[in-house]
Amino acid sequence: MQTFILAGGFATRLWPLTEKRAKPLLPLAGTPLLSHLVSKVPADSPITISTNAALAEGFDAWKKNQEREDIVVVVEDAAHDDHKLGALGAVAEWITNEGIDEDILLLTGDNYCGFAMEKFLDVYTPGTALLAAHDVSNTEAAKVFGTVIVGDDGKTIEAFEEKPENPKTSLVSTGFSVLPAATLPLLVEFAKKQPDNVGGIFEELLRQGKPVECFIFEEPWFDIGSFEAYMEATKELVGEQVLSDDSSTLENTTCTGAVVLGKNTRIASSQLHNVVVFDDCIVDDCILQDCILDAHCTLRGIDLTGKMLRSGTELTSQV
């Protein structure tokens, strides 16, 4: 089985954090989101990561720090979102160019999953597509996702609804699936018509009378698509504690909620509540709540709530 990870989106909703950084490379609880995902992939499944030319440099640097030697980064020649092949188009091009003729573990690089991948693969029925689904607990929350209608057996998928106004279920599709080798020619053809519709391939399988099964998990799952989702995931995974790199310092500072400090960061005489601070930052005499500071920021005497700061930002109180 081959593993293919989609990591080519431009993630404009998370700017300025993703202006020059791919969303899968954002640190989550002190570790790049992509690293969380790669660590779950079985050792016998080679990994291909698909990204775009504008973000390729970050993946080269990330790859150098990985222990696995079976990771290949495929770079799509796209400098802007409207030049991209499309997510499904990127999968189809890889299948065609590399002559892939085996099952594919297809993963979305901006999703965090709490379940063990072996648990997911253990329920895979060879030859039948498998999709991971998560219960978001209420139908109101399900409105922003694609929902999954499952049959009486609790496993066979009967239908999908894309961001329904009145969801019939709170079970939503996630970015994790298995596509059997026999379905790959169908995927390549479908991608010609709908190159950006990854989820649509499963609807197409159903339309053609091919079974699709569902793996329902209760472990944490996050689609890191916005500032709010990023902070929610951080609070869930970090909890009420400070997660700090050994190279960082924290002096005369009160921390509440989830606080994450990157490398070589110095915090002094401040109050932090649910704050993520990237590498090489200086925060002195500040009050920060629900904030994310990109690398190389310097803040002195500042009071901020609900902000994302661009790398290299310098703010000093004039009082």
For residue range 52-100, what is the model confidence (pLDDT) as tens digits?
A: 888 888 999 999 999 999 999 999 875 544 545 789 999 999 999 999 9
Model confidence band, residue 198 (pLDDT cutoffs 50, 70, 90): very high
184-192's contacts with Cβ under 8 Å and 24+ in sequence apart are 184/95, 184/100, 184/101, 184/104, 186/210, 187/88, 187/91, 187/92, 187/95, 188/92, 188/95, 188/96, 190/88, 191/86, 191/88, 191/89, 191/91, 191/92, 192/92
Q: CA torsion angle for 233, 238, 239, 240 (degrees, to 10)?
A: -130
Global pTM value: 0.93
Q: Peptide bond before 164: cis, by omega within 30 degrees of 0?
A: no
Summarize pLDDT for 151-190 with one digit per residue, the tens: 999 999 999 998 899 999 999 999 899 999 999 999 999 9
pLDDT-derived band of residue 319, with 50, 70 and 90 as boundaries?
low
Q: Which two tokens stand for residue 216?
A: 């329902």
What's the pLDDT tens digit per position in 233-271?
A: 999 999 999 999 999 999 999 999 999 999 999 999 999
